[in-house]
C-alpha cells in the first residue's frame, strides 16, 4: 500500500477521536517514525498519541478503527490529511508567505537531486530526510513545515513550495543529509556525480536570484 493511502487510512481511523491539532501532530509522528515500520508497530504509535486518560481508555477502539480503515476501498477513505489539516490551519499564512532566494534555490536543488532517481529511491531518500529531521536544530514550526513539504514531495516532486524560510546553515545540513541518503541508496560515486549535476542544473536559477549556490554546500 503506498504511503499516501496509508496516511489517509490512519487519518480516517483516527479522525473521530482527535481534534485537528492533535491529528496533525499524530500524522507527522507516524510519517517520521512509523511509516516504514510493519503494521504491528501501529500499537506503539497509538499508545504514544493517546496522552489523556480519555484517549487511553479508547486505545483499543482507535487501533481497531485504523486497522479497519486499512481495508477500506480508496473512495471510502478521507482525503490526504496533510492537505486538509494544513489548508484549514495555515491557509491564510501560506497565502502571504514569501519564499526567500536561498530557500527557493534549495528546493530547486533538492528536486534536481531527486529527479536523478526512480520513484522508489526518491521515496526512500525523502523518508530518510524526514527521519533525520530531528537532527536539524530549528524551531518546531519550521520543522513541521519541512516535514509537510517533504511528505508532499513523496507524492509530487513539484508540489507546493516550502512555507518557511531557513538559514543557509540549516539548508546545508539538509543537503548533507540528502547526500548521505544518496550514498546509502546509490553509492558514493553516483552521489558525487548527482550532486554535481544537480548543482549545474540549479545554477541558472541561483544566478537569476543573485544567490551563491555554493552557500548551500
Partner 1 sequence: MIVALKCSIHKFICAKSDNINVVHLLLINILITIIISIESYPVNLYRSQFVVLLCLIFLSPTLVFAGDAVNVDVVNTLWVVIAGAMVFLMQAGFAMLETGMVRAKNAVNVMMKNYMDLCVGTLLFWLIGYGLMFGNNPSGWVGTSLFGLASAPNWDYTLLFFQIMFAATAATIVSGAMAERTNYVAYLLGTIGITAIIYPIFGSWAWNDQGWLKQMGFIDFAGSTVVHSVGGWCSLAAIMMLGPRLGRFAEKGQKDPVRAMPGHNLGYVAIGGFLLWFGWFGFNGGSTLAASTNVGHILLNTHMAGAAGAVAAMLISFITRQPILMTKAVNGSIAGLVAITAGCASMQVPYAVLTGAVGGVLSVLGVIWLEKMRLDDVVGAVSVHGLCGAWGTLAAGLFLTGNMFNLHQVIVQLIGIGSAFVWVFFSALLMYFLISKVATLRVSTMHEQRGLDITEHGEIGYPEFGNDTAYSSENLKDLKNYKK
Binding site for partner 1 (CB under 8 A): 168, 172-173, 176-177, 179-180, 182-184, 186-189, 191-193, 195-196, 199, 212, 214-215, 217
Report, in Å, the least distance between residue 38 CB and partner 1.
15
Report, in Å, the least distance between residue 107 CB and partner 1.
18
Q: In whole angstroms, give the CA distance from residue 44 to residue 18.
A: 17
**Residue 9 or residue 195: which is nearer to partner 1 going by CB?**
195
**Residue 67 or residue 179: which is nearer to partner 1 going by CB?**
179
Q: In whole angstroms, give the CA distance from residue 50 to residue 62.
A: 9
**Residue 82 or residue 213: which is nearer to partner 1 going by CB?**
213
- Burial tier of 12 (Cβ tally within 10 Å: 0-12, 13-18, 19+): buried
**Residue 11 or residue 211: which is nearer to partner 1 going by CB?**
211
Q: In whole angstroms, give the CA distance from residue 154 to residue 38.
A: 19
Place of cell 507546493: 160
Grid coordinates in use for 167? 538559514
Q: In whole angstroms, give the CA distance from residue 178 to residue 197.
A: 14
> Is residue 161 within 8 Å of 95, Cβ to Cβ?
no
Q: How far is CA 68 from the centre of its chain?
A: 25
Report, in Å, the least distance between residue 216 CB and partner 1.
10
Report, in Å, the least distance between residue 6 CB and partner 1.
22
Distance separating the N- and C-terminal Cα atoms of the chain = 36
Q: In whole angstroms, give the CA distance from residue 80 to residue 27.
A: 10
Report, in Å, the least distance between residue 169 CB and partner 1.
8
**Residue 57 or residue 115: which is nearer to partner 1 going by CB?**
115
**Residue 10 or residue 199: which is nearer to partner 1 going by CB?**
199
Report, in Å, the least distance between residue 63 CB and partner 1.
30
Task: Please tell me the total number of residues recorded for the chain in this structure.
Answer: 217
Amino acid at each position: 500500500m503506498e504511503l499516501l493511502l496509508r496516511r489517509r487510512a490512519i487519518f480516517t481511523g483516527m479522525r473521530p477521536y482527535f481534534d485537528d491539532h492533535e491529528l496533525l501532530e499524530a500524522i507527522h509522528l507516524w510519517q517520521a517514525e512509523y511509516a516504514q515500520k510493519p503494521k504491528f508497530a501501529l500499537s506503539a504509535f497509538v499508545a504514544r498519541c493517546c496522552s489523556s486518560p480519555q484517549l487511553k481508555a479508547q486505545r483499543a477502539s482507535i487501533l481497531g478503527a485504523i486497522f479497519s480503515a486499512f481495508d477500506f476501498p480508496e473512495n471510502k477513505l478521507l482525503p490526504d490529511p496533510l492537505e486538509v489539516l494544513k489548508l484549514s490551519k495555515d491557509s491564510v499564512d501560506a497565502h502571504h508567505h514569501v519564499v526567500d532566494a536561498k530557500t527557493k534555490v534549495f528546493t530547486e536543488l533538492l528536486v534536481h537531486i531527486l529527479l536523478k532517481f526512480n520513484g522508489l529511491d526518491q521515496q526512500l531518500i525523502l523518508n530518510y530526510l524526514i527521519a533525520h529531521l530531528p537532527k536539524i536544530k530549528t524551531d518546531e514550526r519550521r520543522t513541521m513545515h519541512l516535514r509537510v513539504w517533504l511528505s508532499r514531495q513523496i507524492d509530487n516532486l513539484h508540489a507546493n513550495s516550502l512555507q518557511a524560510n531557513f538559514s543557509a546553515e540549516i539548508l546545508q545540513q539538509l543537503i548533507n543529509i540528502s547526500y548521505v541518503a544518496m550514498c546509502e541508496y546509490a553509492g558514493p560515486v553516483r552521489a558525487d556525480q548527482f550532486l554535481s549535476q544537480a548543482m549545474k542544473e540549479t545554477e541558472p536559477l541561483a544566478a537569476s536570484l543573485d544567490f551563491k549556490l555554493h552557500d548551500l554546500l
